């Protein structure tokens, strides 16, 4: 475990790039990105493919319903564990993030504790609630590092620092470096960096797919840079331009079963 909560968890400026880009421009780019996302309501059917460096591949399935409210993007996620169980999650993004979880066997959803944000969604996977929520996009302390090339794409690069008063929450995180595609305004990669400046987890965009008139994430990889194990989020089917009831994005509705839209289309592999 990292140092005491009173100690600053800011990564030293030595780990920031030695450029001098316009910070006001960077703030505008980041502010615009916060307001973006898939317009309208949408649905995704996906799989989580656990790809360990050694050992057998495991595949889990899930569904996601997405929308936007006055707080920001909101997602309802159903994840199955392959053993007849699983969990329903309601994930509120924005400046005041929150997560509610309903696991198999529970009668009522529970608001996720801050400690649970960093636990794997399933024992074999690298994905956590923190990875799905991405609260770092709303952190006020950041350095705009200019444009860099990552995974063959030109990207606006930011080094985002956890709030100083939240050291007890983000004990292992010194900073998060994110790259936003300059053309599609999608996140190309995010990297979690510890307090010593070492990258220990990366989330990387693999592929985009246009569904009707909207660009969608088709697949992303989450890689543990220490073990080199990887989990791949792969979208199999999608539906956009939906008109979902706001009711399904209320915590109490997690106990209810929601049917898959009839107009989903395959994204292939």
pLDDT at position 8: 43
Helix (H, G, I), strand (E, B) or coil at 198: coil
108: containing domain: 13-266
DSSP element (H, E) containing 26 = helix 23-34
Residue 67 sits in a domain of what CATH number? Answer: 2.50.20.10
Query: Does a structural domain hold residue 173?
Result: yes
Q: What is the DSSP letter of 254?
A: G
Is 69 in contact with 246 (CB distance < 8 Å)?
A: yes
Longest CA–CA separation in the chain, Å: 54
The count of domains in the chain is: 1
Predicted local confidence at residue 60, as pLDDT = 93
Instruction: Note whether 267 and 236 are within 8 A (CB).
Output: yes
Whether 16 contacts 26, CB under 8 Å: no
- pLDDT for res 63: 96
> How wide is the angle at C-alpha 176 spanned by C-alphas 26 and 17, nearest 5°?
60
Confirm whether 4 is domain-assigned. Answer: no
- Our measurement of the distance from residue 63's CA atom to the centroid of its chain's CA atoms, rounded to an integer in Å, reads 15
Rounded Cα distance, 29 and 185, in Å:
9
Contact 208, 219 (CB under 8 A): no
Q: Please check whether residue 182 is in contact with residue 170, taking contact to mean a CB–CB distance below 8 angstroms.
A: no
Assigned domain for 180 exists:
yes
- Who's near 73: CB < 8 A, 6+ residues apart? 37, 66, 67, 93, 94
Would you say residue 1 lies in a domain?
A: no
Give, in degrees to the nearest 5, the angle at Cα 222 between 217 and 225: 150
Q: Is 123 within a domain?
A: yes
Give the global pTM: 0.85
Instruction: Give me the pLDDT at residue 179, please.
Output: 96
What are the strands, taking DSSP E only, across 81-150?
Answer: 86-92, 98-103, 110-111, 141-150
Whether residue 7 lies inside any domain: the answer is: no
Question: Quick one: pLDDT at residue 90?
Answer: 96
| pLDDT at 16 (0 to 100) | 46
The predicted structure's pLDDT at residue 167: 55
Residue segments in the chain with a per-residue pLDDT below the cut of 70: 1-19, 165-168
DSSP H helices, 107-241, are: 129-133
- Cβ distance 123 to 195 under 8 Å? no
Q: Is the distance from CB of 112 to CB of 100 less than 8 angstroms?
A: yes
pLDDT of amino acid 168: 66
Rounded Cα distance between 175 and 127, Å, is 18
pLDDT at 19: 57
The answer to whether residue 3 sits within a structural domain is no
């Amino acid at each position: 475990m990292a140092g005491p909560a009173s100690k600053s968890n800011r990564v030293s400026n030595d780990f920031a790039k030695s450029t001098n880009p316009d910070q006001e421009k960077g703030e505008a780019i980041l502010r615009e990105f916060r307001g973006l996302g898939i317009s309208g309501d949408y649905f995704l059917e996906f799989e989580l493919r656990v790809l360990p460096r050694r050992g057998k591949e495991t595949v889990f399935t899930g569904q996601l319903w997405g929308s936007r409210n006055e707080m920001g993007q909101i997602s309802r996620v159903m994840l199955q564990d392959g053993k007849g169980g699983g969990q329903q999650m309601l994930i509120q993004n924005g400046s005041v993030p929150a997560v509610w979880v309903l696991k198999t066997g529970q009668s009522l959803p529970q608001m996720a504790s801050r400690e649970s944000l960093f636990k794997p969604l399933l024992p074999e996977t690298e994905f956590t609630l923190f990875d799905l929520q991405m609260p770092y996009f709303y952190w006020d302390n950041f350095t705009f590092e200019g444009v860099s090339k990552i995974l063959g794409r030109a990207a606006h690069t930011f080094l985002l620092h956890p709030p100083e008063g939240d050291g007890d929450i983000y004990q292992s995180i010194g900073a998060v470096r994110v790259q936003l595609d300059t053309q599609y305004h999608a996140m190309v990669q995010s990297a979690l960096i510890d307090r010593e400046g070492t990258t220990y987890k990366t989330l990387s965009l693999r592929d985009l797919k246009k569904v009707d008139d909207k660009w969608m994430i088709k697949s992303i990889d989450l890689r543990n840079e220490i073990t080199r194990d990887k989990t791949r989020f792969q979208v199999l089917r999608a539906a956009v331009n939906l008109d979902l009831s706001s009711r399904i994005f209320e915590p109490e509705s997690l106990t209810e079963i929601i049917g898959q839209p009839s107009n989903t289309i395959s994204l292939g592999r």
